[in-house]
Amino acid sequence: MTILHVFPQPVPATHELHVSGSINGREFDLAGRGTGNPVPATHELHVSGSINGREFDLAGRGTGNAKDGSEEIQVKSTKGALGFSPVLLVPNLGYGFHQYLPYPDGMSPFQAAADDGSGYVVHRTLQFEDGGSVTGIYRYSYDGSHIKGEFNVTGSGFPADGPVMTNSLTAVDPSVATVFCPNDTTVVSTIDWSCTTTSGKRYHGTVRTNYTFAKPIAASFLQQQPMFVFRKTELKASDTELSLKESQKAFHGL
C-alpha cells in the first residue's frame, strides 16, 4: 500500500493585538500582530478510486478533537454497493487525519506543520498477507478550523475468494505505531495492522510510513523518541456506508 499524503499550506488566520495597563503603577503599552491557524475541529471527505478494478466513490464529513486525538467520520457511497469490504478503507479515513493527533506535551509535529503552513509529504507502504496492495493520494485544503480531504485510493492483487473481495472483514484491531525521527526532517512510523474476519481468523498487513517535513522538526520532538501512538477504531459498515469513531493517544514512556 503506497500512499502519498500531501499538506498544502492552510489558510492563515491573522490577528492584531493591543495590550495596555499598569503593574504596581508602572504603565505599559504593547502592540503587535501575528498569524496562527486554529486547531482543526471539523472535516469533509471525498474518497474515490477502485479495488481490483471495481470503482467506488464515497463522500461524507466528521468532527475531531485536536486536544485528545479523537475523531468521528461518516461516509456514504454515491455509486451503490462497494463490491469489497469497506473495512479496507479504514486506514484511508481515520488514519488520514493526523491533524487531530497531539503529543503528550502539546502539538505533534503534524499539527505544528499544519499550524505554521510548512506542511509535509507522506509515503506509506502496506503489504497484505494475501498479496493485495493499495495505492493512494491524500490532498487537503483548509478553511479556518475546517479540513477538506480529497483522497484517491486504488487497490489490486486481492484474491477473489479472500476476505477483502468477499466482504468478510468485520472489525479493526487496536494498533500501536512506533514512531521515530532518523533526521530532523523525517518521521518514520511502523504498524502491524490487523482485522478480524467472519471466519474467526485475522487478516494482517504491515504498514511503514515516511513523513518528510518541509521545515526542520523542533528539537523538543526529536528528544521524544521513540514515540508510540495507540489507536482504537470502532466502526459500523454496510455495503454502501461506513462510520467510525477513532481514539488515538501518543506516548513515549510509562
Instruction: Give the separation between CA 36 and CA 144, rounded to whole angstroms.
Output: 10
- Residue 231 pLDDT: 94
3-state helix, strand, coil in the chain (%, to 5): 10, 60, 30
- Residue 134 pLDDT: 87
Domain locations in the chain?
2-12+32-251
* pLDDT tens track for 3-13: 444 544 443 44
Mean pLDDT of 25-32: 65
45 or 23, which is more confident: 45
- Residue 37 pLDDT: 52
Cβ–Cβ < 8 Å for 142, 116: no
59 pLDDT above the threshold of 50:
yes
Give the residue among 211, 6, 236, 183 at the shortest CA–CA distance from 108: 211
Four-residue CA torsion sign, 242, 209, 176, 205: positive
* Percentage of residues in the chain having pLDDT higher than 70: 85
Cβ–Cβ < 8 Å for 113, 214: yes
1 pLDDT above the threshold of 70:
no
Range in 133-137, 192-196, 217-221 with the lowest mean pLDDT: 133-137
Four-residue CA torsion sign, 216, 222, 228, 234: negative
Mean pLDDT of 224-229: 92
Please report which helix (H) or strand (E) contains residue 82, including its range: none
* Percentage of residues in the chain having pLDDT higher than 90: 50
Residue with cell 521513540: 226
* pLDDT tens track for 153-169: 889 999 999 999 999 99
- Residue 151 pLDDT: 87
Per CATH, is 2-12+32-251 categorized as 3.40.50.10160?
Answer: no
Instruction: Give the separation between CA 227 and CA 82, rounded to whole angstroms.
Output: 36
- Residue 11 pLDDT: 39
Q: How far is CA 19 from CA 25, 34, 38, 170, in A?
A: 16, 14, 22, 57
- The three-state secondary structure class of 87 is helix
Instruction: Give the separation between CA 161 and CA 174, rounded to whole angstroms.
Output: 26
Mean pLDDT of 85-92: 89
* pLDDT tens track for 99-157: 888 899 888 988 888 777 777 777 877 889 999 998 878 777 777 778 888 888 889 99
CB atoms within 10 A of CB 16: 8
